[in-house]
Amino acid sequence: MKRKRTKTVKIGSVDIGSGHGIVIQSMTKVPTVEIERCVKQVYELVEAGCKLVRIAVPRRADTEAFAKIVQKVHIPLIADIHFSPDRAIEAIEAGAAKIRLNPGNIKNPKDIIRIIDSAKMHKTAMRIGVNEASIADYQTKDVPGDKRVALMLKEMKKYVRLFEKRGFDRLVLSAKSSDVARTIEINRKISETFDYPIHMGLTHAGLPEDAEVPSAVTLGTLLAEGIGDTIRVSAAGNPVEEVKIARKILVSLGLYERSEPELVVCPTCGRTEINVVQLAQKVKEAISSIHKPLRVAVMGCIVNGPGEATHADVALCAAKNKAYIYRKGKRVAIVPDSEAITALLNQLHKL
Ligand code: SF4
């Protein structure tokens, strides 16, 4: 998959741009002033595969807490700024590797220049994060959907020009909407217009189970076109779920190296003679402690099963009362169905 060329921007120790892998990021969702909880969540996100974590700093007490959190974690942190130029400068001085500014709510050029100068001095990167909902507050009321993309792009160009005029180019760009088609369109336009790295996400996507498909469609479409350098899946609830979805999207496009087994299960049909779902759930549980990027297949019959088995490291093709076990495409055992999982795991442990 050929990436659209974007320049490299350093976010602390993490490089973003087309010369580097797609970086997963997320946000903490506990009050920033609760420092220990915040640090714990940062580490949970890192453990899940997150390389950058953003933290909201709406009040002065939050930027003070942010300064302490920066000292306690080993990954670059991003401060999420809305409305207050002072919070932006405090966060930069507190050690933010990047700050996110929303052109929809910090608009005074004098304020922006103050922030730019501080970021330049501290080598802090900046994400210009245009959000359709923020623009709507003052500009897009009653503006039809198809005109909003043009407005978002106009807003982005205006902001970028200000930064460039001031000699600042450590920029990452993003434009988000809760609408799949508009998010795809605006990101295509940003990619055509600029060569700064692009942060992508679908905003306000819903609960994790509802956010997964729209996020995958949006980000998957753009990533498959080579667009995007860092992604954040937005979903209500535990942010670790956001990272899991982001990882699945990247894995499905071959853009993320798995470290865990992948389980392939046939969808079942009228030929199925055993309870494949139950069997697959048991296999899933049994392989959950294995930390290798293996492909494991559970198939419901020997019609299509052997074909899938050739693409899997180990496979189990169930038939009535017995199971055919495959390793690296070769049939290695036929066992009674009661021994199927043990036989599959035995083969798995030989790899
Ligand atoms: S593998 Fe067999 S049982 Fe499963 S869906 Fe295909 S044909 Fe049906």
270-289 as b/e, with b when 16 or more CB fall inside 10 Å?
A: eeeebebeebbeebeebbee
- Range(s) within the chain of domains with CATH label 3.30.413.10: 262-349
pLDDT of residue 137: 58
pLDDT of residue 141: 65
pLDDT of residue 72: 98
How do beta strands 322-327 and 52-56 pair?
Answer: unpaired
Q: Is 277's C-beta closer than 6 angstroms to any atom of ligand 1?
A: no
Kind plus residue range of the DSSP H or E element containing 211: helix 208-224
Q: Which of 264, 269, 275 is the pocket-test mutation for ligand 1 (most atoms within 8 Å of CB)?
A: 269
Q: Which of 277, 299, 302, 316 is the pocket-test mutation for ligand 1 (most atoms within 8 Å of CB)?
A: 299
CATH of span 9-252: 3.20.20.20
Superfamily of domain 262-349: Sulfite Reductase Hemoprotein, domain 1 (3.30.413.10)
Q: How far is CA 258 from the centre of its chain?
A: 14
Q: Which of 264, 265, 266 is the pocket-test mutation for ligand 1 (most atoms within 8 Å of CB)?
A: 266
* Nearest residue (CA) to ligand 1, atom 5: 268
Q: Is 269's C-beta closer than 6 angstroms to any atom of ligand 1?
A: yes
Q: How far apart are CA 351 and CA 347, in angstroms?
A: 7
pLDDT of residue 144: 78
Q: Which two tokens stand for residue 349?
A: 């442990």
pLDDT of residue 145: 76
Question: Which amino acid does the sequence have at 219?
Answer: L
pLDDT of residue 138: 56
* Maximum Cα–Cα distance across the chain: 76
pTM > 0.85: yes
Q: Is 305's C-beta closer than 6 angstroms to any atom of ligand 1?
A: yes
With beta carbons less than 8 A apart as the criterion, state whether 320 and 301 touch: no
pLDDT of residue 166: 96
- Range(s) within the chain of domains with CATH label 3.20.20.20: 9-252
Q: pLDDT means per 10 residues in the chain (351 residues)?
A: 94 97 97 98 96 98 98 97 96 98 90 96 96 70 80 94 96 94 96 98 88 96 98 96 95 89 92 88 90 91 83 90 92 93 91 85
pLDDT of residue 306: 82
Q: What is the CA radius of gyration of the chain?
A: 24
Q: Which CA distances in Å does 4 have to 23, 52, 226, 235?
A: 15, 22, 5, 27
With beta carbons less than 8 A apart as the criterion, state whether 325 and 314 touch: yes
From the alpha carbon of 305, which atom of ligand 1 is closest? 1
With beta carbons less than 8 A apart as the criterion, state whether 293 and 257 touch: yes
Kind plus residue range of the DSSP H or E element containing 41: helix 35-48
Question: Which amino acid does the sequence have at 268?
Answer: T
